[in-house]
Amino acid sequence: MLNLILMGPPGAGKGTQAGKLIAEFKLPQISTGDILREAKRAGTPLGKQAAGFMDSGKLVPDELVIGLVEERLEQPDTKDGFILDGFPRTVAQAKALDEMLKKHGRAITRVVLIDVADRQKLFDRVTGRWSCPNDGSVYHVKNSPPKIAGKCDKDGATLIQRADDTPEKLTKRLSEYEAAKAAVVHYREKGLVTELDGEQSPDTVYGLLKKAVGK
Ligand code: AP5
């Protein structure tokens, strides 16, 4: 059973690595960023409440994010394991997650922190990122370009850039990340954290990740 959390700064490669894991092991990926962006696009009450925070690079309030994860973890496809990407980000979220899993006799089995110490690399990755609006596939203009420029390899959709992927908003997101590092400490105290060097190629990081989760 793999109940995995992927942590790391914006642009560390959490989504990229989760994509590789789901392709190989068919586990559901629960990305709070993706769920919130979808809610925002669809104009749901959650999306409307979250939009201002996301657009300015701030964290969305705990109560909104905790509720949506709790609902998602109730879905039957998570019963054989899951990959949490971008959640929890605060100690309150981590404690709430522990509680909701405990209710169902479950627990987090591993936390992988993908770190990228060179902040310039994060700026290059985030400002060069393009993604598919339909299936969320992630590309990078230089590091992993699509076969046809501007089009998704899988469904041919026109790729888009995220509203928060500007240098100014990334600066804010990075400071929010630094301020919220206590969530990592929460899991470190439980002996669950493996730290990986995310500055290597996506395939090298994936090899290390599989080793960290015993696959
Ligand atoms: P979220 O969507 O979670 O964004 P993030 O944490 O800032 O992370 P990113 O999606 O930017 O980066 P990533 O690590 O997934 O990198 P990726 O694989 O795409 O959150 C967005 C917002 O939602 C937050 O700011 C907040 O407002 C809100 N939110 C979400 N969760 C929340 C929570 N729990 N609590 C409160 N608010 C929350 O890779 C990036 C680029 O780099 C890609 O182009 C990729 O191709 C490239 N790349 C990846 N790996 C490598 C590599 N090894 N080498 C070279 N290039 C690489």
Any residues with Cβ below 6 Å from ligand 1, and which?
8, 10-16, 32-33, 36, 53-54, 57-60, 65, 86-89, 93, 125-126, 128-129, 138-140, 143-144, 164, 173, 198, 201-202, 205
Please tell me the distance from the alpha carbon of residue 83 to that of residue 68, in angstroms, as a whole number.
15
Question: Which tens digits make up the pLDDT trace of 82-123?
Answer: 999 999 999 999 999 999 999 989 999 999 999 999 999 999
pTM of the shown model: 0.95
Residue 164 domain-assigned (yes or no) = yes
Residue 74 domain-assigned (yes or no) = no
Residue 57 domain-assigned (yes or no) = no
The domain in which residue 152 lies consists of 2-27+80-212
Count of structural domains within the chain:
1
Residue 16, phi then psi, degrees to nearest 5: -60, -45
Is the predicted pLDDT of residue 181 greater than 90, yes or no? no
Question: Which tens digits make up the pLDDT trace of 5-55?
Answer: 999 999 999 999 999 999 999 999 999 999 999 999 999 999 999 999 999
Q: What integer pLDDT is reported at residue 94 of this predicted model?
A: 96
Residue 70 domain-assigned (yes or no) = no
Residue 110 domain-assigned (yes or no) = yes
Please tell me the distance from the alpha carbon of residue 165 to that of residue 181, in angstroms, as a whole number.
21
Is the predicted pLDDT of residue 135 greater than 90, yes or no? no
> 110-124: string of b/e by CB count within 10 Å (b at 16+)?
bbbbbebeeeeebbb
Residue 137's pLDDT band (cuts 50, 70, 90): confident
Q: What integer pLDDT is reported at residue 136 of this predicted model?
A: 84
Residue 38 domain-assigned (yes or no) = no
Residue 103 domain-assigned (yes or no) = yes
Residue 48 domain-assigned (yes or no) = no
Q: Domain of 98: which CATH number?
A: 3.40.50.300
